[in-house]
Amino acid sequence: MDFSIEKLTDLVWDYAPKVVGAIITLIIGLWIIGWITKLVKRLLEKRGVDETVTPFLTSLVSVGLKIMLLLAVAGQFGVETTSFVAIFGALAFAIGMALQGSLGHFASGVLMLIFKPYRVGDLVEIGGGSTGTVEELQIFNTVLKTLDNKRIIVPNGVVTSNIITNISGQGEIGVELTFGIGYTDSIDKAREIILKVGKECPWILDDPAQGVVVAELADSSVNLATRPFCKSEHYWDVFFYMQENVKKAFDKEGISIPFPQMDVHAINN
């Protein structure tokens, strides 16, 4: 028993400095990694690097440095780093096979950085049904912010495997609008009202000029379509302005906006 306690004591004295040193190395290392990550981010922003690329690269630097830190900590315990790297490589391969989807999302993120289908700040619609403003492109995910301030995290693999509609990336955008009027109302008068409201809208551009056409003779209404252009950041401003003010102008001028209805004719035999 005395021999075992003595051996245990020696073992503790041998490994205690290593454990303490490893803990100190880990704490200081994580602090330094956080500092370096912030420094890299500031340097990228200072050099005017695309806002889409910055979070992706900083995340990559952070992950890489943390892996190196773990190798350094393992080395303090006497683990041969070459052997450890080989083991880590085999483990990484096994994990990679198990997490093929995550690696696919990473590869998709790299492809999006190269081809740049959108940038941070663009309003996009992804084929899966997610629409919002791009807040961040991360290693595995794209973060969107919706109009009602929801945060949507979309895996990059889902983005690249679906249709991407960049609504605002061109700088200027046409706002698709349709207004229905009754069959007894004047098309010319309704067109004049829509153009007048568009002229009064502070965000609609003069070039290209707004037009109004008959898009459809529907069951209950004559549908007039218009596509005023504006700066991308004012898309929703124009959309809501036109919806509200055209309705008010129609009411004021006696133009009806019909609702679905059915005429029933009774025939007496």
67-87, pLDDT tens digit by residue? 777 777 776 666 555 655 665
Q: Pick the range with the lowest mean pLDDT from 7-21, 153-167, 186-200.
A: 7-21
Enter the pTM of the model: 0.53
Is residue 60 within 8 A of residue 13, CB to CB? The reply is: no
For the chain, which domains are there? 2-98 (1.10.287.1260), 117-166 (2.30.30.60), 172-253 (3.30.70.100)
* Mean per-residue pLDDT, 18-25: 74
Q: Any idea which residue has 């003779």 for tokens? A: 217
The first and second tokens of residue 152, run together, are 């949507």
| Residue 2: predicted pLDDT | 47
The larger pLDDT score, comparing residue 197 to residue 133, is at 197
136-148, pLDDT tens digit by residue? 877 778 888 887 8
